[in-house]
Structure 1
Amino acid sequence: MTTLIESNEHKSLREAVAAFAQTHPHTTNAEDGKRLWQDAAKLGYIGVNLPEAYGGGGAGITGLSLVLEELGAAGNPLLMMIVSPAICGTVIARFGTEEQKRAWLPSLADGTRLMAFGITEPDAGSNSHRITTTARRDPATGDWILTGRKVFVSGVDIADATLIVGRTEDARTGRLKPCLFIVPRDAPGFERRPIDMELNAVERQFELTLDDVRLPADALVGDEDAGLLQLFAGLNPERVMTAAFGIGMGRYALSRAVEYARERTVWKTPIGAHQAIAHPLAQAHIDLELARLMMQKAAHLYDAGDDVGAGEAANMAKYAAGEACVKAVDQAVHTLGGNGLTREFGLARLITASRVARIAPVSREMILNYVSHQTLGLPKSY
Structure 2
Amino acid sequence: MTATSERPTETPANPFLETPERAALRASVAALATRYGQDYFQKCAREGRKTDELWAEAGRLGFLGVNLPEEYGGGGAGMYELAIVMEELAASGTGLLMMVVSPAICGNIIARFGTEEQRQRWLPGLADGTITMAFGITEPEAGSNSHQITTTARRDGDEWLLTGRKVWISGVDQAEAVLIVARTEDAKTGKLKPALFIVPTDAPNFEFRQIEMELINPEKQFQLFLDDVRLPSDALVGSEDAALSQLFAGLNPERIMAAASAIGMARFALSKAVDYVTTRTVWKTPIGAHQAIAHPLAQGKIELEMAKLMMQKAASFYDAGDDWGAAEPANMAKYAAAEACVKIVDQAVQSMGGNGLSTEYGIAPLLNLCRIARVAPVSREMVLNFVAQTSLGLPKSY
What amino acid maps onto 2:192 in structure 1? Answer: L
What amino acid maps onto 1:244 in structure 2? Answer: A
Match of residue 18 from structure 1: 30
What amino acid maps onto 2:211 in structure 1? Answer: I
Match of residue 86 from structure 1: 104
Match of residue 6 from structure 1: 18
What amino acid maps onto 1:325 in structure 2? Answer: C
Find the aligned partners of 2:328 and 2:37 in 1 and give their Cα distance.
36
Find the aligned partners of 1:360 and 1:5 in 2 and give their Cα distance.
30
Q: CA deviation at 1:4?
A: 2.2
Q: CA deviation at 1:272?
A: 0.6
Count of residue pairs brought into register by the alignment: 378
Q: CA deviation at 1:365?
A: 0.6
Match of residue 75 from structure 1: 93
Q: CA deviation at 1:342?
A: 1.0
What secondary structure sits across from 1:317 in the alignment?
helix
> 1:222 and 2:241 equivalent?
no
Equivalence map 1:292-311=2 (5 Å): 292-311=308-327
Match of residue 153 from structure 2: 135
| Per-residue deviation, residues 319-376 of structure 1 (Å, max 9, x unmatched) | 0000011001001010111111111111111111001111101110111110111111
| Per-residue deviation, residues 181-236 of structure 1 (Å, max 9, x unmatched) | 00001000000000011122110100000011000000000111101011111000
Find the aligned partners of 2:244 and 2:123 in 1 and give their Cα distance.
22
Match of residue 172 from structure 1: 188
What amino acid maps onto 2:81 in structure 1? Answer: G
Q: TM-score, normalised by structure 1?
A: 0.97
Aligned-pair Cα RMSD in Å: 1.0
Q: CA deviation at 1:25?
A: 3.2
Q: CA deviation at 1:34?
A: 1.0
Structure 1 gap ranges (5+): none
Find the aligned partners of 1:41 and 1:205 in 2 and give their Cα distance.
23
Match of residue 101 from structure 1: 119
Match of residue 60 from structure 1: 78
Find the aligned partners of 1:23 and 1:103 in 2 and give their Cα distance.
32
Q: CA deviation at 1:301?
A: 0.2
Contact 2:276 2:352 in 1 (8 A): yes
Match of residue 51 from structure 1: 69
Q: CA deviation at 1:31?
A: 4.1
Equivalence map 1:145-294=2 (5 Å): 145-294=161-310
Find the aligned partners of 1:31 and 1:51 in 2 and give their Cα distance.
31
What amino acid maps onto 1:129 in structure 2? Answer: H
Find the aligned partners of 2:71 and 2:390 in 1 and give their Cα distance.
36
Match of residue 110 from structure 1: 128
Which stretch of structure 1 is more off in the superposition, 89-98 or 164-173?
164-173
Contact 2:37 2:92 in 1 (8 A): no
Q: CA deviation at 1:24?
A: 0.9
Q: CA deviation at 1:42?
A: 1.1
Find the aligned partners of 1:227 and 1:308 in 2 and give their Cα distance.
15
Find the aligned partners of 1:287 and 1:380 in 2 and give their Cα distance.
29
What amino acid maps onto 1:153 in structure 2? Answer: I
Q: CA deviation at 1:84?
A: 0.2
Find the aligned partners of 2:162 and 2:199 in 1 and give their Cα distance.
9
Structure 2 gap ranges (5+): 1-14
Find the aligned partners of 1:39 and 1:245 in 2 and give their Cα distance.
19
| Per-residue deviation, residues 233-272 of structure 1 (Å, max 9, x unmatched) | 1000000000001000000000000000011111111111
Find the aligned partners of 2:208 and 2:33 in 1 and give their Cα distance.
32
Find the aligned partners of 1:89 and 1:5 in 2 and give their Cα distance.
27
Match of residue 55 from structure 2: 37
What secondary structure sits across from 1:354 in the alignment?
helix
Q: CA deviation at 1:5?
A: 3.8
What secondary structure sits across from 1:178 in the alignment?
strand
Equivalence map 1:272-351=2 (5 Å): 272-351=288-367
Match of residue 357 from structure 1: 373
Runs of 4+ more than 6 Å apart = none
Q: Tell me the percent identity.
A: 67
> 1:124 and 2:142 equivalent?
yes
Contact 2:50 2:219 in 1 (8 A): no
Find the aligned partners of 2:186 and 2:264 in 1 and give their Cα distance.
42
Compare CA radii of gyration and give the structure with the larger one.
2
